[in-house]
Structure 1
Amino acid sequence: MRKQMFYLWGIVGLSVFVGLTWTVTAFAGYESAEYEVVEKDGNIEIRKYPDLTLVSTNSETDSEGKDGSFMRLFSYISGANESAQKIAMTTPVFMERGSADTKATMGFVVPQDVATAGVPKPQGEGVSINKRKGGRFAVIRFSGRMNAELVKSQEFKLRNWMQSRELEGEKTSESAGYDPPFTPGPLRRNEVLIRLKEMTPPESTSSSSVTD
């Protein structure tokens, strides 16, 4: 009996290992949004992002796509667009938290080749194509299942780090997830991003000479 239990747990352990390996390998093959690391300090980075094209939809806070937002975007890349074009999945999924005037949104990054050739218009309701302006971002990376409390605590750490470096950022933030929903918390790659305000160069002073 004990031998059978040992054998059973061995199969379960192997299945979990294979599943996790497949997850990591599958997502490693996806195109990811490009960025340049300007500075790195542990799990915090200053990154420079180019302009990105996103296919976006409204999302309920902390729903992790369970409100239908993920499937609306997945339907778009599966062919629910004017060209019936299948578009490759990319990482990360950007999530921008709502405010008093705006709703929370979830967005997939459109692959560079599709963005260059022309992004097909969505056919499904509630889906739109938007531009994410490039720039410098302070980014903190962390694991776990993303929720409001975890994101808030990581944003607090990131803003404290920014303050120590005398970096000024926007009041709003966004989060990014790189893994499918069934990925265990400790193996997840999550990020909070805060756009840094552009530094205004000092005004140049010109000297003039007075001649008699």
Structure 2
Amino acid sequence: MVQQQQYTVLGRFPGFELRHYPAHLLAQVTVNSGFQGAGNAGFRYLYAYLSGRSSFPASYGLELSGWPASAQRAGPGLAMTAPVLMEPSPIPGAFCVAFVLPADLTASTAPVPEDPAVSIVPVPGQAAAAAAFTGRWSESNVQGHLAALQSAVTAEGFTVLGSPRFARFDPPFRPWFLRRNEVLQDVEGPGD
């Protein structure tokens, strides 16, 4: 069973669920690729990081799964988490692809990526509107769901903050009609 990012449901509205995500860490890579190819290109870097192309920081100070904290290469790896997140990068034509790291890791205990393309990024707690959908992971499908989510959020009096995130929960071999996907948009609500 794959660990999923935790959140608290704050409310349900027509077309979306309002959630609070606690502060967390991402293992993130920026890839210069179109929407269709970004997920696959980014996944390769992130999977290598999770599989052990990393080292534990000296501050870790204990053993994890039997590997000493002093291990410099090929650490034990980390458990896979869901979802895989993707969002537009500030770099034109590029996307940031990320895994949410297990909740028990901190910025000082997360394994250090061996590949400089992979960054460990702290994310503060945030409120986000989420809309789940099934189906193919195509840009037109995702953008259609994003437009519907942003319209529903605005209709309820919330303000859209920052860039949207696109979440994939299932492996590519799962039949398209069974795949769980989400569009997420940080928001500020009335009275916040």
Q: TM-score, normalised by structure 2?
A: 0.81
Residue 130 of structure 1, CA deviation: 0.4
1:75 counterpart (48, 66, 69): 48
Higher relative contact order (CA 8 A, sep 6+): 2
Q: Any residues of structure 2 matched to 1:55-204 within 5 Å, and which?
A: 55-59=27-31, 60=33, 61-63=35-37, 65-67=39-41, 69-83=42-56, 84-99=75-90, 103-115=94-106, 118-197=109-188
Residue 116 of structure 1, CA deviation: 7.6
Q: Any residues of structure 2 matched to 1:31-50 within 5 Å, and which?
A: 31-41=3-13, 44-50=16-22
Higher helix share: 1
Q: Any residues of structure 2 matched to 1:14-33 within 5 Å, and which?
A: 29-33=1-5
Q: Deviations over 1:37-96 (max 9, x none)?
A: 1112466200011011000111322215333x2111111111100231310001111111
Q: Distance in 2 between matches of 1:154 and 1:111?
A: 28
Structure 2: give runs of 5+ residues left out of the alignment.
57-74
Aligned residues: 172
1:179·1:189 contact (CA, 8 Å) conserved in 2?
A: yes
1:175·1:191 contact (CA, 8 Å) conserved in 2?
A: yes
Which segment drifts farther, 123-132 or 72-81? 123-132
Residue 190 of structure 1, CA deviation: 0.5
Q: Distance in 2 between matches of 1:82 and 1:99?
A: 29
Higher strand share: 2
Q: Whose Rg is larger?
A: 1
Q: Distance in 2 between matches of 1:64 and 1:186?
A: 21
Structure 1 consecutive aligned stretches of length 4 or more whose deviation exceeds 6 Å: none
Q: Distance in 1 between matches of 2:24 and 2:164?
A: 17
Q: Deviations over 1:174-200 (max 9, x none)?
A: 111100111111111100111013666
Q: TM-score, normalised by structure 1?
A: 0.74
2:85·2:165 contact (CA, 8 Å) conserved in 1?
A: yes
Q: Distance in 2 between matches of 1:100 and 1:114?
A: 29
User: Which amino acid is 1:123 matched to?
Assistant: E
Structure 1: give runs of 5+ residues left out of the alignment.
1-28, 202-212
